[in-house]
Amino acid sequence: MPYTALYTIIIFYFNKYFLKNKKLFCPILLGNFIPDFDIFISLIGKLFISSNSIDYYSNKGLHSFFLILLVYFIGLIFSEILNKKLKIFFKGLSIGIFIHIILDILISQKGIYFLWPLNISFVSGFKINIFSKNLYNLLLASHFLLFRFYTWTLINKLIKTKTDLLYMLFPFNIWMKCEFYFFITLLFLIFIKFKSLYIIYMFFYIPSLIIATLSTYIIRKELTK
């Protein structure tokens, strides 16, 4: 179960009140989104390759310690060739990826392949026994309320900073409504016991993840204020 929306809100408010170097604010948030893009790869695999592709691709390449190193070293190279400021950006990305992976290891009920491509998974000793499948599905649906809350947080940030990007308030508000519709749709599908619920969830989750990432990048300068 992806927890990116929850992680994003935690990281946002931690950065807001405790992060000293505000230049890292946006890169850390963006880095936090990266690991869950393996859902996109998993969905393509499930639709066109094998029904087991979700288990094959999830929590591996984009949840690996080696990805953190790769991103950091790419930042070092680009900062030398292009712009010194890129070092801070890629450092933030690396921190964001690392935080996401650590939170996954602590919270997720599935193995996280932190040392991928080595076939070694890390599973939290903290287990949640979900007695009802409906309860699990409700937790899936609740992610879209969390994405909605994150969008609301960005809207408030724009309003408070009195930025030139106030024109983004309209599309952000539209997307907030979409997140609510995703939530309501999943509740209905849970009620009728729709068999392919997780596929629909992923079709909703992927655009939510992409929009959250793009929205964060668009207002990156406002996040440092």
With 50 as the cut, is the pLDDT of residue 73 above it?
Answer: yes
Give the range with max mean pLDDT: 36-40, 75-79, 216-220.
216-220
pLDDT at 8: 93
Distance CA 10, CA 8 (A): 5
| Cα 113 to the center of its chain, rounded Å | 17
The proportion of the chain whose per-residue pLDDT surpasses 70, expressed as a percent, equals 79
What's the sign of the alpha-carbon dihedral 127, 119, 53, 96? Answer: positive
pLDDT tens-digit map of 8-63? 999 999 888 888 888 899 999 999 998 888 877 666 655 555 555 445 456 666 77
Q: Residue holding tokens 């893009």?
A: 37
Overall pTM surpassing 0.95 (yes/no): no
With 90 as the cut, is the pLDDT of residue 144 above it?
Answer: yes
Q: Average pLDDT, whole number, for the chain?
A: 82
Please state the φ and ψ torsions of residue 112, each to the nearest 5 degrees: -110, 120
3-state secondary structure of 122: strand
Q: What is the mean pLDDT of residues 125-133?
A: 55
